[in-house]
Amino acid sequence: MAFGSIIGVALVAAVAFVSLSPEFGGTPTKAERAAFAKSGHYHNGEFVNLVPTQVMTGSSTLAVLWKFLFRKNPNARPAGPLPMQPLDSLAIVHKTPELVRVTWFGHSSSLVELAGKNILLDPMLSVDLGPSALLTPPRYNPTLPISPEKLPPIDAVLISHDHYDHLDYQTIRRIKGKVAHFYVPLGVGAHLRAWGVAPERIREMNWGDSVRLPGLTLVCTPSRHFSGRGLTNRNSTLWSSWVMKSATKSVFYSGDGGYGPHFRTIGTTYGPFDLALMECGQYDAQWAQIHMMPEQSVQAAHDVRTQVMLPVHWAAFTEANHAWNDPVIRATAEAARLHQPITTPHLGEPVTLGAALPSSRWWE
């Protein structure tokens, strides 16, 4: 009876936490869910991938979690903070429309400067990940190259999906006053509205939808992944990659996801690209259908026909049982084999098209 009481109290506490914590976001309305059914990617109350996809194959979730907790790779985290180049906010403000520059902040958060616009990708600019720091891995660095408050006005925030390492409540709360528009996959707007973002500044998009800004086109394109922020809302929102095109230059962001034929289709339809930010990290053989292995990330960059690959989704959090620098070691080796140009900047180090690309092996 005592054990049952403890379990009961724990369940009540968990339900209360999920209900009261703003981190979990919002829920699409019944009318919105009815509209999702017309998207072509929503069946039986869930969004689906273009090809059959399993989140986990082989071992059970419990077995993978046990290995991650108790048989962790000894190099899962770096010995200390990673080298970082602080970002001068004034340098972002004073630029020409012809400038194409990308600054990676760690994991997948990046600032793209294109067509005179500031485009922020998956802004996770917090040190803590998710609703409870007790349950999630800490960030490698105690600070970031720039704080949310020091960012310049942002023309567009692009969200790839609603997982905590890509859509961060604390960051959104701190930047929402300086963002002109949020462009998000279907359903993700419910989270933003719950966090106080004005509905008129949110544009939800289906795969293939595009929006035109002065001198810039943004296209929501497919990825192969899944979504959800709670225990009961898996795949309730869509996931995506993004195409950013000016009159003369184009940038691609893969978002999260497994390898698939969509990369070649994106390359044929929207490529070639001048630069592609490609997911490369937090992988495992057991979930290879929803996260690419490094060699697949390089192949995907080749498929989208990019001149330069920038590997992201690493160097911030340990979310898989591989060495923290394994992604970049394997990706650079495969890029050399396939003759795919690759750039490997420090955290906060700008990558400027037309200038020498950062290529130091700082992770060694």
Q: Note the pLDDT tens digit of each residue in 168-181.
A: 999 999 999 999 99
Cα–Cα distance for residue pair 357/339, rounded to 1 Å: 15
Mean pLDDT of 115-127: 97
pLDDT at 93: 78
Helix (H, G, I), strand (E, B) or coil at 314: strand
Give the helix/strand (H/E) hosting 55. none
Residue 182 token pair = 């949020």
pLDDT tens string 184-194: 999 999 999 99
Q: SS3 for 84?
A: strand
pTM for this prediction: 0.93
Counting every residue written for the chain, the total comes to 364
pLDDT value of residue 279: 98
Q: Closest Cα partner for 99 from 88, 112, 87, 115?
A: 115
Domains observed in the chain: 24-71+88-352 (3.60.15.10)
| Spatial CA neighbour of 246 closest among 217, 220, 266 | 217
Average pLDDT over residues 216-231: 96
**3: amino acid identity, one letter:** F
Residues 61-91: pLDDT tens digits?
A: 677 767 766 677 889 999 999 999 999 887 8
* Residue 20 pLDDT: 61
Assess whether pLDDT exceeds 80 at residue 15. Answer: no
78 class by beta-carbon count within 10 Å (0-12 exposed, 13-18 middle, 19+ buried): middle
Band of residue 16 on the pLDDT scale cut at 50, 70, 90:
very low
- Determine the pLDDT at residue 19: 46
- Better-scored residue on pLDDT, 9 or 166: 166
DSSP structure string for 175-223: HGGGEEEEEEETTTHHHHHHTT--GGGEEEE-TT-EEEETTEEEEEE--
Question: Cα–Cα distance between 26 and 188 in angstroms, integer?
Answer: 8
pLDDT in tens, 225-238: 999 999 889 999 99
Average pLDDT, the chain: 92
User: Hey, what are 206's tokens?
Assistant: 């289906």
Parallel/antiparallel/unpaired status of strands 275-279 and 309-312: parallel
pLDDT at 132: 79
- In three-state secondary structure terms, 302 is helix
